[in-house]
A and B are shown apart, each in its own frame.
Chain A
Amino acid sequence: MRHLKQITYTIFVTLLIFMALTTPVLAAQEANSSGESLTPIYLAFILALSIFLGFELISKVPATLHTPLMSGSNAISGITLVGALLAAGYDSEMSATILGTLAVTFATINVVGGYMVTDRMLEMFKKKGD
């Protein structure tokens, strides 16, 4: 019964996130035609929902896995890489490109280092008899 409730809840929250994520795409197209931007509001909407979801997800992680959780979530925060790739790849001023390239470097360290070290740790967690 509790399990069922959990699944329903997860689906519900995922749907919310989905809605929140799709709205700005539509909003951006809307804004293109009207010339006015509503983006900050939608972005803030996403932020609120994601924080809520984050709290729900993380509070379920057992203390045993808190170190891998930290290094793994660290790797996720390397998502800055997505923005950095654009910053380094645009044909713009040299200073912007250099800063973008540096951002790519550090974000890549975060992503690659974070996921690999997390995998290395989680690999060691074995059940009895494995």
Chain B
Amino acid sequence: MNLALVINLVYIVASVMFIFGLKMLSSPATARQGNLLSAGGMGLAIIFTLVNQHIIAYQWIVLGVVIGTVVGVAAARMIEMTAMPEMVTLLNGSGGLASLLLGWSEYQRNQEVVVFSAFVIALTALIGGVTFSGSIIAWGKLSGKLDGKPVLFNGQQIVNMLLLLAILVCIIFFTLNPINGLIIFLVLIGLALILGVMSVIPIGGADMPVVIALLNSYSGLAACAAGFVIENNLLIVAGALVGASGIILTNIMCKAMNRSLANVLFSGFGSVVESATGQGEQGEAKPINTEDTYPILEAAASVVFVPGYGLAVAQAQHTARELGELLEENGAEVKYAVHPVAGRMPGHMNVLLAEANVPYDQLVEMDDINPIMETVDVCMVVGANDVVNPAAREDETSPLYGMPIINVDMARTVIVLKRSLGVGFAGVQNPLFFKDNTRMLLGDAKSSIQGLVREFKEA
């Protein structure tokens, strides 16, 4: 039997393992095995690639694999769960760079390529380059090394248009004459890197979930393009799966923020908001302290926590879980309702709560909690603001209007844990704070919850 055929058959098995791995991710109960299955497929593909008879120099491979493994293991072990968005962004960038380098290497090996190959090599360099530099900028914004504010300047669109035009020209020239095209190819890589930077700088910190999802998609598409370069079906299947995944997540994020992708990508959110905050205060917020909160919680038969990124900032997830357990011992039904865009990336809050040992059957999605919100006795809003703002439902002039929210104001009592009476990310006033059934528990979320835990233990 010929070896190439065997290798190709193994690639088929590997792609089926990827597919089933992703399928098993549809439930938390099977997700871990699914990931292992997917990793197994990857291992299989790698091993059978190594027996390929064209490989003669193993020393370079060993060098690359060893360095990559050390860095990968160290990063995966040491990263804090709160920093997961940064980690995923860097991994995206790493994948994009790998595809770019692969395309480049193929070009260096053989410059006498047909038009189609030259075109996909150029495409790989473009997508890979944009993914890499875009991810680096996104990482800078997420980790606070760069200012999270959108960078907007006059003529930005014109500059971008010229950039795209130049890239197009480079691709055409390179495709038509790849044999002496190294200079054009390098220029193309440079332009792709600039394009990546230019496309992420106008996006604000609060919109980062969308950007991460989009870059995730790009990294898959880059692998896909590389698959066309080396005519490898496994790269195409795997890359397309990832590309589709990223696009779906991007779409979900955009829907959850009630904005179009174009709106996220091309306009800084801050500039939209300034015109619409002139409503001022809408009444008087009613503050409460921990001693007075305790009897409300003690009497509650159902309690729903609504965590936002503020929970992670205050590192209050463990204390929140402790309070949740005390409430359960007290006979209350406890749930954690997570908005799709809470946190800094899709599903981030769920991971943080899982880390704090909140069982996944207590994590509920927005669409599942909203219909039963009227039956909930107490809603504890911890560090969330815009995603529970009733203006999104009621006030047509609000910039948030139309965004799906968790309807905490429909619960019997709402307790908002908040540092101060300031506005949220979007800079929009929150009428929730002034509702009759709302009480404000001001102060650091962690110490407030600790106070409540103490009340329960002493009682």
Contact = CB atoms under 8 A, between A and B. Distances in A.
B29 interface: yes
Given A40-B116, A51-B240, A70-B212, A60 B39 contact: no
Interface string B42-82: 10011001101011111011011101110111011101010
B98 A71 contact: no
Which of the four size classes fits the interface of chain B? Answer: 35 or more
Contacts of B60: 88-89, 97, 100-101, 104
A79 B64 contact: no
B220 interface: yes
B64 A77 contact: no
A96 B64 contact: no
B28 A121 contact: no
A62 B61 CA distance: 38
B340 A121 contact: no
A39 B231 contact: yes
Interface of B is mostly: helix
Nearest to B11: A21
Interface string A6-21: 0000100010011011
A127 B98 CA distance: 37
Interface string A42-78: 0100110011011101111111111111111111111
B293 interface: no
Interface in B130-169: none
Contacts of A92: 108-109
Contacts, number: 406
A74 B241 contact: no
Contact of A46 (B49, B104, B237): B237
Given A125-B31, A127-B359, A104 B223 contact: no
Contacts of B237: 17, 21, 46, 50
B413 to A, nearest CB: 25
A110 B98 contact: yes
A95 B106 CA distance: 10
B303 interface: no
Contacts of B98: 78, 80-81, 84, 103-104, 106-107, 110
A123 B33 CA distance: 10
B276 interface: no
Interface of A: 10, 14, 17-18, 20-22, 24-25, 28, 39-40, 43, 46-47, 50-51, 53-55, 57-93, 95-97, 99-130
Given A85-B50, A89-B55, A126-B359, 8 more contacts: A47-B224, A99-B102, A107-B98, A112-B69, A112-B76, A119-B35, A119-B39, A129-B359
